[in-house]
């Protein structure tokens, strides 16, 4: 119960990453998303992934969170690689393994000419998997190292409307509580002789039994919370003040500059390269840029 909850809650420690301004973290995350989407090179993507993972070491994340991360990443990367390897549709593609032959009765017809594992699909899947894994890892690192209050202030500081930011953060903030409640409901049922691990109809029954009290509690809580925050003058004024004011440190400024500059550079280089490869625009003065894009990006 507690383990499940601590996975969803931030771990507050005093590390460089924890101390960073939430606005800086959000900007770095946005920059990284652009970089990850732009990159195609497996090695560079893997390097980016490793850099992000090193953040977990620097932030001294507890073992339970590292375990959770590893499980999520394995599922994500393996799932993406496997699905891309099977369903890669671009040409050329090289079959390296046959799962269902085209002439296999019924299944061969059902699969539209057999099911194969393609080499190019594996490569493409690896890039896609690493791309998603990098974004997921950085997002988790940001959530696990930032208190929801700071996150709220960060979003407001980046000009996100307070109501929207509040809703987002409140939803995230209640996630650990909902997880705990689900665990409590399962415990209650276990103590009353119901074994939720039973397969088949047991799973459906378990889900219904879990959903009823959890949803009822959520609905009740939502109503109460809404009134509670309204009676505390929520949105009573167009502006609001804050107990804690955010300030960028020098490290924040450097990090933002580096990440934003890198993101803009990579996106621009990739754009130019794609324009070149698709025959839209070419100039010989940009050949070093094309070389970098082709070789590393």
Partner 1 sequence: MIEIKDLWYTYPGRSEPTLKGINLRVEKGEFVLLTGPTGCGKSTLLKTLNGIIPHESGGILSGSVKVKGMETTDSNQMEISKEVGLVFQNPDDQIFSTIVEDEVAFGPENLCFEQKEIDKKVTEALQIVGMSDHRLDSTNSLSGGQKQRICIASMLAMEPEILAMDEPVSQMDPMGTHEVLNTVRELNRKLKTTILLVEHRLHELAPFVDRVVIMDNGKIVFDQPASKAFDNLEIFYRLGLRIPEPVELCHSLGIKASPLSVNGALAVLDREIKENNRIPQQFLQNPDKNPVTKTSSKKTSSKKASVENNTHGNNDSENNAHGNNAHRNNDSENNAHGNNAHRNNDTENNAHGNNDHGNNDHGNNDSIISIQDLWSGYEKNKMVLKGINLEIRKGERVAIMGTNGSGKSTLLLHLAAILKPDKGSVRVFGEDTRSKNPYSFAGKVGFVFQNPDLMLFCDSAEEEVRFGPVQLKYSNVDERVRNSLEAMSILPLRNDLPQALSRGQRLRTAVASVLSINPELILLDEPTTGQDKVNIEQMMDFFKNNNSTLIFCTHDIEVAMSYATRILVMNEGQIIADGKGKEVIKDTEILKKASLTQPPVVEIANYLGINAFSVKELVKTLTSRSVEEINSESVEEINSESVEEINSESVEGINSGSVEEINSRSIEGIKC
User: Is residue 221 involved in binding partner 1 (CB under 8 A)?
Assistant: yes
State how far the Cα of 89 lies from the Cα of 77, in Å rounded to an integer: 19
Which of these segments, 135-143, 223-231, 278-286, 287-295, binds partner 1 (CB under 8 A)?
A: 223-231
Which residue is associated with the tokens 């959000």?
Answer: 26
Which of these segments, 101-109, 115-123, 212-220, 274-282, binds partner 1 (CB under 8 A)?
A: 212-220
The set of residues, in sequence order, having a beta carbon less than 8 Å from that of 100 and lying 6+ positions away, is 107, 108, 111, 114, 115
* Among the listed residues 111, 93, 16, 40, the one whose alpha carbon sits nearest the alpha carbon of residue 267: 40
Q: Which of residues 106-165 bind partner 1 (CB under 8 A)?
A: 147-149
- Cβ proximity of 162 and 240 under 8 Å: yes
User: Is residue 18 involved in binding partner 1 (CB under 8 A)?
Assistant: no
User: Is residue 227 involved in binding partner 1 (CB under 8 A)?
Assistant: yes
Identify any residues that bridge with 20 across adjacent strands, giving them in sequence order.
none
CA atoms within 13 A on the CB side of 6: 12
Which residue is associated with the tokens 């791309």?
Answer: 131
Instruction: Report in angstroms how near the CB of residue 238 gets to partner 1 at its nearest.
Output: 10
Among the listed residues 241, 250, 284, 285, the single contact to partner 1 using CB under 8 A:
241
In whole angstroms, how far apart are CA 214 and each of 1, 136, 200, 281? 15, 27, 22, 57
Which of these segments, 37-45, 126-134, 222-230, 282-290, binds partner 1 (CB under 8 A)?
A: 222-230
User: Is residue 15 involved in binding partner 1 (CB under 8 A)?
Assistant: no
* Among the listed residues 11, 156, 137, the one whose alpha carbon sits nearest the alpha carbon of residue 69: 137
User: Is residue 193 involved in binding partner 1 (CB under 8 A)?
Assistant: yes
Among the listed residues 226, 264, 268, 275, the single contact to partner 1 using CB under 8 A:
226
Among the listed residues 57, 229, 251, 291, the single contact to partner 1 using CB under 8 A:
229
Instruction: Report in angstroms how near the CB of residue 226 gets to partner 1 at its nearest.
Output: 7
State how far the Cα of 223 lies from the Cα of 48, in Å rounded to an integer: 43
State how far the Cα of 208 lies from the Cα of 194, in Å rounded to an integer: 13
Q: Which of residues 245-274 bind partner 1 (CB under 8 A)?
A: 245
Instruction: Report in angstroms how near the CB of residue 243 gets to partner 1 at its nearest.
Output: 4
Instruction: Report in angstroms how near the CB of residue 19 gets to partner 1 at its nearest.
Output: 16
* Among the listed residues 65, 71, 66, the one whose alpha carbon sits nearest the alpha carbon of residue 3: 65
Looking at the Cβ atoms of 67 and 190, the one nearer to partner 1 is 190
Looking at the Cβ atoms of 3 and 295, the one nearer to partner 1 is 3
Contact positions vs partner 1 (CB under 8 A): 1-2, 5-6, 9-10, 12, 147-149, 170, 173-174, 176-177, 181, 184-185, 187-195, 208-210, 212-214, 216-217, 220-221, 223-237, 239-243, 245
């Amino acid at each position: 119960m507690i383990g499940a909850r601590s996975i969803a809650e931030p771990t507050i420690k005093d590390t460089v990453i924890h101390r960073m301004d939430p606005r800086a973290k959000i900007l770095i995350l946005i920059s990284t998303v652009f970089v990850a989407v732009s990159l195609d090179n497996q090695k560079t993507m893997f390097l980016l992934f490793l850099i992000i993972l090193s953040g977990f070491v620097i932030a001294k994340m507890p073992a339970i969170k590292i375990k959770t991360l590893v499980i999520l990443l394995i599922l994500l990367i393996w799932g993406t690689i496997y699905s891309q390897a099977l369903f890669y549709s671009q040409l050329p593609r090289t079959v390296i393994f046959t799962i269902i032959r085209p002439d296999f009765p019924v299944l061969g017809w059902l699969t539209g000419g057999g099911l194969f594992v393609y080499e190019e699909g594996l490569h493409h899947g690896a890039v896609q998997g690493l791309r998603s894994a990098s974004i997921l890892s950085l997002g988790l690192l940001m959530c696990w190292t930032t208190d929801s209050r700071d996150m709220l202030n960060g979003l407001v500081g980046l000009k996100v409307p307070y109501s929207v930011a509040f809703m987002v953060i409140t939803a995230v903030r209640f996630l650990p509580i909902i997880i705990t409640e689900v665990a409590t409901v399962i415990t209650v049922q276990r103590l009353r002789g119901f074994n939720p691990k039973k397969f088949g109809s047991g799973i459906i029954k378990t889900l219904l039994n879990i959903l009823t009290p959890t949803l009822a509690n959520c609905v009740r809580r939502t109503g109460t919370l809404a009134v509670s925050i309204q009676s505390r003058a929520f949105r009573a004024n167009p502006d609001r003040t804050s107990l804690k004011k955010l300030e960028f440190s020098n490290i924040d400024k450097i990090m933002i500059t580096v990440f934003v500059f890198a993101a803009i550079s990579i996106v621009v280089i990739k754009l130019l390269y794609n324009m070149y490869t698709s025959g839209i625009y070419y100039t010989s003065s940009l050949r070093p840029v094309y070389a970098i894009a082709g070789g590393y990006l």
